[in-house]
Amino acid sequence: MDTSDFSNLPGDPLDAAAYWFTRDHGGLMTAGERRRFQAWRQADPAHERAYQEILQILSLIHISEPTRPNNRSRMPSYA
């Protein structure tokens, strides 16, 4: 795949990795985008490193995120 297919992506690998993560995990990625994503990851070792870094950071955030109370219980009742 020609790297010109990546021209609309952010130039910084971490920013591009965040873009791909959002598309993939948000359920927004089409089949064509998935092929572009795989080609982007294989096009440069820095791309794969950046994507793995995003995954690692987000897994740490998920693990350390405190459980939030259900805010609905604090809403006034209008019944």
Q: What phi and psi, each to the nearest 5 degrees, are found at residue 77?
A: -95, 135
9-51 pLDDT per residue, tens: 999 999 999 999 999 988 888 999 999 999 999 999 999 999 9
For the stretch 54-62, contacts whose Cβ atoms lie closer than 8 Å and that sit 24 or more positions apart, written own/partner, are: 54/14, 54/17, 54/18, 54/21, 55/21, 58/21
- 74's tokens: 């604090």
- Residues 31 and 47: their CA atoms lie apart, in Å, by 20
Mean pLDDT of 63-69: 56
